[in-house]
Amino acid sequence: MIHPEGDEPTPQLDRILDFARERFFRYGYSSVTIDEIAAELRMSKATFYRFFKSKEELLESAVRS
């Protein structure tokens, strides 16, 4: 996981993790897309990729947090 503003988590990072955790639990990992996450959170995919290198990395972070 990448912290663009340093080592401290940001509210935007927390939003991504909370949303992804809920979607993964409800619909399953394979049914959730980065496009969906970015659109629902009203951010670009580039912004998403500032925080996570991949969907796999997002899943790992969502499970750990």
Per-residue pLDDT of the chain (65 residues; tens, 9 = 90+): 655 455 566 899 999 999 999 999 999 999 999 999 999 999 999 999 999 999 999 999 999 98
pLDDT of residue 56: 96
Distance between CA atoms of 20 and 32, rounded to whole angstroms? 8
Closest CA to 41 of 63, 62, 3, 11: 11
pLDDT of residue 36: 96
Distance between CA atoms of 20 and 15, rounded to whole angstroms? 8
pLDDT of residue 3: 53
pLDDT of residue 1: 63
